Amino acid sequence: MGKLFGTDGVRDKANQGNMTAETALKLGCAVGLYFRDATAVEEVRPVIAIGRDPRLSGSMLESALAAGVCSAGVDVRLLGVVPTPAVAQITVQTGAVAGLVVSASHNPFYDNGIKVFKGSGFKLTDEEEEQIEELFFSDALSLPVEEEVGAVFFMQDAVELYAEFCRQTLPDGQPLAGLKLVLDCSNGATSACAEAVFSAVGASVAVIHNDPDGININENCGSQHTEDLCAKVLEMGADAGLAFDGDGDRLIAVDETGSELSGDQIMAICAKAYKEQGTLTNDRVVATVMSNMGFHAAMKSLGIKTETAGVGDRMVLELMQKTGAVLGGEDSGHMIFLDCHTTGDGIVSGLKLMQVLAASSVKLSALAEIMVPFPQVLINVDVKQKPPIEEVAALAEAVAQAEKELGDAGRVLIRYSGTQPMCRVMVEGPVEAQTQEIAERLARVVKECVG
């Protein structure tokens, strides 16, 4: 049997490999069959919600995916262009048996992907993905006929429902009154709702990169490229800037000085606030192996235990549920507030961060001082193959040498991207120049060996 799911759903270049209309059709059918019997009401046909981001290939794949779900005897509720976390939330709110998202997150417009949420709003486990893959690759499926075939319905108020959900994660009234904010919507899925959400809770809002055309999603904007946001914050004298990625499940912030805050810094600020409020369950947070050593030091100084998960929001969520943590996330800006939502949500993360700022007597730059990041260099190297890192002798030798040079004052982490043909070389160390030199040296070895 082949392999379909990666670290976060199914990904590929649009109309190629695992992201063709044919694949979407078959996957929709497999997901529909898997969830068809999940409803306990026999007289009511199960429904699967489908949402997408605005990239060019989205409508093509959405149509194929919907057709596949209907062929399995399941109705489809099309949500249109909405953030990924909106699909998870509306799936739960409307009683759908599953939610599907057509999006490639922060990737360029020519990529696309399909993510699956269960009726509970959580992503699939590895075992559930394997069962869906078995259906996908099966040649002996029994499909319904006649009146048992599913139908497609359009949900006109999906954006409004999600926006109201986001507003309700903060106290009633206008808790962000007095804040001047700039939002960068990455020409993506938050373009239709972010301004309304933050304005409704009292903030004065300016928005950039909120005019998607299907091709400009994530292009030199959003959470991956904050240069325009930094400039706009300084130009307006804003209190903060908030940058989302293309599908709206990540957040990167900019303080009033135009300096970027990482996901680790945002999470450190929110963890401190939760602890002071007595809402940080078990006094612990969940980070990943990519989190900066400075984050661990900050949490230790606050008496907060840090649990470390593998890379990916699914890994973070699993460890959060296992340890009872309500806050977890990645340095990339993907944060989960489990007391509010089942998945990472850039808008909710932004609301939570701004709530702390609004209640504080200091600027965002001062709040960020809770964490002093260790010098960190991350270099992405394009690769043609992905052999196990430990089996590439020259690379293993180079890593060992780097770790010897850094000692206990730093670390090296080399891993393949789960969604792109890329190897990520990350080095942390006590001195920026040394950290940069080691990272560049390792990146060269990666390129020579697998590039």
CATH code, domain with 439: 3.30.310.50
Q: Give the strand pairing for 240-244 and 180-184.
A: parallel
Of the residues 57, 63, 71, 105, only one is catalytic, namely: 105
pLDDT confidence of residue 2: 57
Does some domain include residue 70?
yes
Same domain, 201 and 317: yes
CA pair distance 234, 256, nearest whole angstrom: 7
pLDDT confidence of residue 42: 62
Name residues whose C-beta falls within 8 Å of residue 413's C-beta, 6 or more positions apart in sequence.
289, 290, 424, 426, 427
What six digits make up the tokens of 147? 């009146």
CA pair distance 309, 299, nearest whole angstrom: 16
Same domain, 266 and 380: no
DSSP structural state of residue 139? S
Same domain, 45 and 18: yes
Q: Is there a contact between 119 and 97 (Cβ–Cβ < 8 Å)?
A: yes
Same domain, 351 and 380: no
Does some domain include residue 5?
no
CA pair distance 4, 34, nearest whole angstrom: 15
CA pair distance 16, 168, nearest whole angstrom: 40
Name residues whose C-beta falls within 8 Å of residue 146's C-beta, 6 or more positions apart in sequence.
none
- State the sign of the Cα–Cα–Cα–Cα dihedral 285, 289, 291, 295: positive
Same domain, 211 and 334: yes
What six digits make up the tokens of 288? 């990943």
CA pair distance 237, 234, nearest whole angstrom: 5
Q: Under DSSP, is residue 298 helix (H, G, I), strand (E, B) or coil?
A: helix
Q: Give the strand pairing for 260-261 and 251-254.
A: antiparallel
What six digits make up the tokens of 5? 């799911």
Does some domain include residue 164?
no
pLDDT confidence of residue 140: 83
Q: Is 142 a catalytic residue?
A: no
- Provide the CATH number for the domain around residue 303: 3.40.120.10
Does some domain include residue 166?
no
With b meaning 16 or more CB within 10 Å and e meaning fewer, what string describes 163-201?
bebbbebbeeeebbeebebbbbbbbbbbbbbbbebbbbb
Does some domain include residue 3?
no
Point out the domain boundary residue: 344, 370, 396. Answer: 370
Same domain, 251 and 277: yes
CA pair distance 84, 246, nearest whole angstrom: 9
- Start-to-end CA distance of the chain, whole Å, equals 28
Residue (of 288, 243, 285) closest to 261 by Cα position: 243
Does some domain include residue 4?
no
Under-50 pLDDT residues of the chain: 1
Number of domains in the chain: 3
What six digits make up the tokens of 152? 């497609």
CA pair distance 212, 59, nearest whole angstrom: 14
CA pair distance 309, 329, nearest whole angstrom: 9
E strand or H helix that includes residue 62: helix 58-71
Same domain, 135 and 41: yes
pLDDT confidence of residue 198: 98
pLDDT confidence of residue 268: 97
CA pair distance 262, 334, nearest whole angstrom: 10
CA pair distance 338, 343, nearest whole angstrom: 7
Q: Is there a contact between 69 and 32 (Cβ–Cβ < 8 Å)?
A: yes
Same domain, 358 and 402: no
Domain region containing 446: 376-450
pLDDT confidence of residue 4: 92
pLDDT confidence of residue 38: 65
DSSP structural state of residue 375? P
CA pair distance 243, 223, nearest whole angstrom: 5
pLDDT confidence of residue 39: 61
Does some domain include residue 1?
no
Point out the domain boundary residue: 113, 131, 159. Answer: 159
Same domain, 40 and 153: yes
pLDDT confidence of residue 342: 96
Point out the domain boundary residue: 370, 389, 413. Answer: 370
